[in-house]
Amino acid sequence: MADYRPPLRDIHFVLDHLTDVGALCELPAFAGLDPDTIKGVLEENARFIAEVVAPLNRVGDLEGSRHDPATNTVRTPAGFVDAYHQYVAAGWGGVPFPAEYDGGGFPWLVGIAMQELISSANMAFSMAPLLTQGAIDLLMHHGSEEQKERYLKKMVTGEWTGTMNLTEPEAGSDVGAVRTKAVPADDGSWRITGTKIFISFGEHDMAENIVHLVLARVPDAPPGTKGISCFIVPKFLVGDDGSLGERNDVACVSIEHKMGIKASPTCVMSYGEKGEGAVGYLIGEANQGMRYMFTMMNNARLSVGLEGLALAERAYQDALQYAQERRQGRAPGAPAGETSLIVELPDVRRMLLTMKALVDAMRAIIYTNAQAIDLATHHPDPDVRQRNQELVELLTPVSKGFGTDMGIECTSLAIQVYGGMGYIEESGVPQHFRDARITSIYEGTNGIQAMDLVGRKLPMRAGGVITDFLAGVAALDAELAAAGDELAVVREQLAAALAVVTDTVQWLMEHGLADVRNALAGATPFLRMFGLLVGGRYLAEAALAARADLAEGEGDTDHLRARLVIARFYAENLLPAVAGLAPAVQAGFDDLYAVGPEALAG
């Protein structure tokens, strides 16, 4: 396994050319910031991550976290506690949060770039601050002033971590099936009883307190998702002066033995096991918990999509280094009797370029999505805020679904580049694949992302949002034409893919209205084909930007020329799959139900 090398050159290219950090710095919310300051912060964060967090990735996979029932805690792998304390002392977790809560006041886009670095270096470790960010986001939007004052500053600094407690046994992704109960107490608090599963960092030894956000039902709540409320349930009760009191009646019963991210404890949590119930505090109004959860869902899903990008980048780095060191066979044109580096073999080059093109496409999609969140939140013009919020809604299922699907494919390709050694754990690359596999399940499975895309996002503004996005793709044609032969294949294939997606969207609109099962049956292949088109759009924009820099004599010539090659490779080798997916989208649902489960059993 290669040492992790933060891809700052690629990250800065996206920040400078596909997003506009300078424009974000001009917004009132980010007054006082400038691109050079942001660049300096990212470079220092990259150094910290590479030196402190990345070396623990392999250790974490080998040791895993261990549940200790005797002390009612979970022990993280060697080095994790010290590394986390250094992370907190440096203030990294608070960079993208408001200064009023002791944050750094930076754009979310910068936070996403930092998330990429830590997730690439050590995804299991990154889960603690990632879950805390989600909890912070929800409390910032919906917590009372007293709750914000009591909990947020310690969570923003990272001294306390946070969790999201949604899933229960038998419920899975069906949050409406939640059975955890909340009963009011005489002092205005609530008593929570129930069991939650799959709670990342639900118990650990890295922080002094854990603030659990728990979904539960109050008495006489309506059934389904309309009857869910959200509660703060801290591991240790917090006094009026902010001091920690007695331990709450919340405990980790066990941790799961997982395929990957073994250092991240996935806990089964029990609330109120001792009898009266764990002390909880209602956030906002009763029966509004699902609405509150969806406030932070875009950010959470974007962060999971980022994990796909991050692991793909890490796997690509390992595969590239291995291909430049491993000698086997003789490449075409090599002298007789000479063993070649496998990086000279055409099929290995194909795999490496596939990984690189997908990584660049994912980064462009996810960073664009993050910038849209900043603009939707902070731009003074309401029309700009609205249009960017629409873009957030459209791109989020793509960032999450396409990003994690491609992350799994890229980590699998890394194993293939290694050949037989890729199947050996000591090589390190199997860990990337195992770690990546959960990402397509987190925060709503990718099937749910696909259904969200076709069922909720395509109909937005009566189809106007998707129409505007496709018009943006079409608008690139003139620039690509002006680029001549250098980008001719990008122009040709992007136009062909655009035509197919446009026709497919129209089919989904018509046949989905007639019977929603038509849209849902084709949702997953549509997510893939739309993701490919979105990636093609942004790689085309990247190629045009690189070409402009070359014409001006700016930047690293080799790096910029590689951008042109990557865009052409993506257009020729990946975009044509869009046409092949269209029949699957338009097949309808009839055959899905034409054979019963008994017949499928054989």
- Measured CA to CA, the distance from residue 409 to residue 413 in angstroms comes to 6
Tell me the torsion sign for CA atoms 527, 530, 533, 538.
Answer: negative
DSSP secondary structure letters along 261-313: -TTS-EEEEEESTTSS-EEEEE-SSTT-HHHHHHHHHHHHHHHHHHHHHHHHH
Yes or no: say if 487 and 547 are a contact pair by the CB < 8 Å rule: yes
- Measured CA to CA, the distance from residue 416 to residue 40 in angstroms comes to 37
- Measured CA to CA, the distance from residue 405 to residue 305 in angstroms comes to 9
Burial code of 336-370, b = ≥16 C-beta within 10 A, e = fewer? Answer: eeeebbbbbbeebeebbbbbbbbbbbbbbbbbbbb
463: left (phi over 0), alpha (psi -120 to 50) or beta: left
Question: Alpha helices, DSSP H only, in 68-170?
Answer: 80-90, 108-121, 123-142, 145-147, 153-157
Task: Give residue for tokens 């912070």.
Answer: 136
Indicate which residues carry an active-site annotation.
443
Task: Give residue for tokens 């969570």.
Answer: 155
- Measured CA to CA, the distance from residue 247 to residue 237 in angstroms comes to 6
- H helix or E strand, kind and range, residue 230: strand 229-234
- Measured CA to CA, the distance from residue 158 to residue 130 in angstroms comes to 11
Yes or no: say if 150 and 237 are a contact pair by the CB < 8 Å rule: no
Tell me the torsion sign for CA atoms 241, 247, 249, 250.
Answer: positive
3-state per-residue secondary structure call for 35-83: HHHHHHHHHHHHHHHHHHHHHHHHHHHHHCCEEECCCCEEECCCCHHHH
Between CA 198 and CA 204, with CA 203 as vertex, the angle to 5 degrees is: 125
Give the residue from 263, 174, 260, 155 showing the smallest Cα distance to 215. 174
- H helix or E strand, kind and range, residue 352: helix 346-378
- Measured CA to CA, the distance from residue 528 to residue 532 in angstroms comes to 6
- Measured CA to CA, the distance from residue 146 to residue 124 in angstroms comes to 32
